[in-house]
A and B are shown apart, each in its own frame.
Chain A
Amino acid sequence: MTDLAVHIERVSKSYGGVRALIDVSVDVPQGACVALVGESGSGKTTLLRCINRLVAFDAGRITVFGTDVLQSEPVGLRRAIGYVPQDGGLLPHWRVRRNVALVPWLDGAADATARADRAIAAVGLDAPMGERWPHELSGGQQQRAAVARAVAGGQSLVLLDEPFGALDAIARSDLQAMMITLRERSSLTLVLVTHDLHEAFRLATQVVVMRAGRVEQHAPPEEIRGAPATPYVSALLARAGVEAA
Chain B
Amino acid sequence: MAAIALAALLLPNGRAARSVLAQAAGRPVVVASKPFGESYLLAEMFAQLLESRGIPVDRRPGLGATQVAFAALESGAIDVYPEYTGTGLLAVLHAPPMHDAAAVFDTVQRAFEQRWGIRWLPPLGFENTYAIAVRAGTAGRYGLRTLSDLTGVASKLTAGFTPDFIGRPDGLPGLAHAYGLHFAAVRPLNQALKYRALAAGRVDVVDGYSTDGSIARYGLVVLDDDRHFFPPYQAAALVGVRLQRDNPAAVTVLTELSGRLSAPVMRALNQRVEIGGESVAAVAASALSSLGLTKGASATAAAPEAARPGFLAYLWQRRAALWNDTLRHLLLVAVPLVAGILAGVPLALWLERRRSAAEPVIRAVGVLQTIPSIALLAIMIPLLGVGVWPALVALWLYSLYPIVRGTFTAVRDADPSAVAAGRALGMTPAQVLRWVRTPLAAPGIMAGIRTAAVIDVGTATLAAFIGAGGLGEPIATGLALNDTRLILSGAIPAAVLALLVDAVLAAVEWWTTPEPLRAAARERSRDR
Contacts and interface: CB of A to CB of B under 8 A. Distances in A.
Contacts of A75: 426-428
A220 interface: no
Contacts of B427: 75, 102, 106
A93 B517 contact: yes
B170 interface: no
Nearest to A134: B516
A85 B424 contact: yes
A135 B435 CA distance: 18
A146 B423 CA distance: 14
Interface residues of B, number: 23
B417 interface: yes
Contact of A54 (B423, B431, B519): B423
B438 to A, nearest CB: 10
A71 B367 CA distance: 46
Contact of B420 (A89, A106, A150): A89
Nearest to A95: B516
A90 interface: yes
A92 B520 CA distance: 10
A90 B517 contact: no
Contact of B418 (A54, A92, A103): A92
B517 A92 contact: yes
A135 B516 contact: yes
Interface in A27-57: 52, 54
A79 B423 CA distance: 10
A78 B424 contact: yes
A78 B514 contact: no
B515 A133 contact: yes
Contacts of A93: 439-440, 514-517
Interface in A82-99: 83, 85, 87-93
Main SS at interface, chain B: helix
B417 A87 contact: yes
Contacts of A88: 417, 421
Contacts of A149: 425
Contacts of B423: 54, 78
A76 interface: yes
B433 to A, nearest CB: 13
A126 to B, nearest CB: 19
A134 B435 CA distance: 16
B43 to A, nearest CB: 58
Given A83-B424, A85-B424, A106-B426, A133 B516 contact: yes
Interface residues of A, number: 26
B511 to A, nearest CB: 14
A154 B428 CA distance: 20
A103 B426 contact: yes
A46 to B, nearest CB: 14
B424 A90 contact: no
Nearest to A85: B421
A77 B428 CA distance: 12
B135 to A, nearest CB: 74
Contacts of B440: 92-93
Given A75-B428, A103-B425, A92 B516 contact: yes
Interface in B405-440: 415, 417-418, 420-428, 431, 435-436, 439-440
Nearest to B419: A89
Contact of B520 (A83, A103, A135): A135
Nearest to B418: A91
Given A93-B514, A133-B515, A134-B516, A102 B425 contact: yes
B426 A54 contact: no
Contacts of A89: 417-418, 420-422, 424
Interface string B184-224: 00000000000000000000000000000000000000000
A157 B417 CA distance: 22
Contacts of B426: 75-80, 103, 106
Interface of B: 415, 417-418, 420-428, 431, 435-436, 439-440, 514-517, 519-520
Interface of A: 52, 54, 75-80, 83, 85, 87-93, 102-103, 106, 133-135, 146, 149-150
Given A78-B425, A134-B516, 5 more contacts: A83-B425, A102-B425, A133-B516, A135-B516, A150-B425
| 7 A-B pairs with least C-beta separation | A89-B421, A93-B514, A79-B426, A78-B426, A133-B516, A83-B424, A89-B417
14 contacts: A75-B428, A78-B424, A89-B420, A89-B422, A91-B418, A91-B435, A92-B415, A92-B516, A93-B516, A93-B517, A102-B422, A106-B425, A135-B519, A135-B520
